[in-house]
Amino acid sequence: MSTTSFDLIVIGAGPGGYIAAIRAAQLGMSVACVDAWKTQDGKPAPGGTCTNVGCIPSKALLQSSEHFEHAREHFAEHGISTGKLSMDVARMLARKAEVVKQNNEGILYLFKKNKVSFFNGLASFTKAVEGGFEIQVSGDKPEALTGKQIIIATGSSPRALPGVPFDENIVLSNDGALDIASVPKKLGVIGSGVIGLELGSVWRRLGADVTVLEGMPAFLPAADEAIAKEAKKAFDKQGLKIELGVKVEEVKTSKSGATIQYTDAKGLAQSLKVDKLIVSIGRVPHTEGLKPEAVGVQLDERGAIVVDGDCRTSVPGIWAVGDVVRGPMLAHKAEEEGVAVAERIAGQHGHVNFDTIPYVIYTSPEISWVGKTEQQLKADGVAYKAGSFPFLANGRARALGDTTGLVKIIADAKSDEILGVHIVGPQASELIAEAVMAMEFKASAEDIARICHAHPTLSEVTKEAALAVDKRALNF
């Protein structure tokens, strides 16, 4: 077997990996990217968890289910008569698969355009060699590759409940939850994080009776308390049942479903029978088959690859980015790290500001935030001032028929520099970009308040929240 040499080998073609490979190629390096994902018919499927069983397919289902709910609940308000509605789940899943395929093919096109050599197979370290490292690619066409530099971008895997493995039929990870063949009558979700809330929302809209069991005593503790409270109120109104402070004692499965025995927040024993159970209790770094020990790459107690602030591992010449290292498991965080590492390898000064990474939950209402929460600032003893403005008082939101939620801006009490922006409401995922931009340039609340925002737009709520920081909102 001949060995092919490259300036850089990227292991993993998820958001961190494929973006790193493209940026490195733009900077003049010879680049290979290795990824093991395949479609059901055996074709390469670059894009990682995000494209194949995460961000992209979940958003496709969220969109389909939102259309269905709008038709059922809200079209009549607009004078639209639809007659009897039905949901073709098979067609919805087929559309989702087509969206995923388009993204897979888009990445392959970008590799070709940027002259990145792509290898479909599982990459494993074999040894360090003179001037670099040897990588074995096992797959339909085994290859031996050598790279002067290596970027590990192998992502993460869903965490299972102890003693309750995923069978992707009754007990589902995000993978199985995206492929339920028909709407379950009763759906259980363990974990009220991003995956649990988004996928629970999909199937609730389509008619499932959904119960979410969360171990934490507070709902969305990472979000600002005002935002979490508003979101919880909206989910309760929709009929998404969320039980907090529970302790799951036992899960029994059968061919027809699962029974969860748990203790509720009051210490009372409870039992929940469901047709399907989604387990979304977090994710773990994925290094299976990588064999990092072959070259001395160090892992921490969680199984994550140990890196410094610039994503260097314990071995010079080997880097790691994304879910497989410390920090939030977010696709856009992985992308930023991938670009930064490619630029560092090229001798440039790559940049990732962890303080301005946005968080988004694509439920209805959407939830997003960037920077510090009010409770964090209180705990840190930082003097601050805050202002909020409701979508209820916004003309565009009224026209859309979606007035749930608010924008909250927190600024330094003395300098007025924005410390955090928190949104729950329509298009929060898009509105947060203005806040990220403002914080990256260290803008003050006054800066946003003084910027002309188009009327009528949802972005005016951000402007009004900035005005409210100084207690001078104009429309509420």
Distance of CA 329 to CAs 405, 426, 431, Å? 26, 24, 21
Q: Which long-range contacts (CB under 8 A, 24 or more apart) does 269-274 make?
A: 270/246, 272/188, 272/211, 272/213, 273/186, 274/184, 274/186, 274/187, 274/188, 274/211
- In 3D space, the residue among 127, 125, 104, 108 whose CA is nearest the CA of residue 117 turns out to be 108
Q: Annotation-wise, does 198 bind a ligand?
A: yes
Q: Annotation-wise, does 412 bind a ligand?
A: no
Q: Annotation-wise, does 11 bind a ligand?
A: no
Q: Annotation-wise, does 345 bind a ligand?
A: no
Choosing from 67, 74, 351, 455, the catalytic residue is 455
Q: Annotation-wise, does 59 bind a ligand?
A: yes
Q: Annotation-wise, does 175 bind a ligand?
A: no
Q: Annotation-wise, does 397 bind a ligand?
A: no
Q: Annotation-wise, does 282 bind a ligand?
A: yes
For residue 173, the tally of other CB atoms under 10 A from its CB is: 21
- Judge contact between 159 and 174, C-beta under 8 A: no
In order, the DSSP letters of 389-429 are EEGGG-HHHHHHT----EEEEEEETTT-BEEEEEEEETTHH
Q: Annotation-wise, does 407 bind a ligand?
A: no
Q: Which two tokens stand for residue 339?
A: 């670009």
455 in catalytic set: yes
Q: Annotation-wise, does 214 bind a ligand?
A: yes
Characterize 45-54 residue by residue with b for buried, 16 or more Cβ atoms within 10 angstroms of its Cβ, and e for exposed. Answer: bbbbbbbbbb
Q: Annotation-wise, does 191 bind a ligand?
A: yes
DSSP H helices, 82-220, are 89-113, 174-177, 194-205
Q: Annotation-wise, does 332 bind a ligand?
A: yes
Q: Annotation-wise, does 259 bind a ligand?
A: no
Q: Binding site for NAD(+), residues?
A: 191-198, 214, 282
Binding residues: 59, 154-156, 191-198, 214, 282, 323, 329-332
Residues noted as catalytic: 455
Binding-site residue set for FAD: 59, 154-156, 323, 329-332
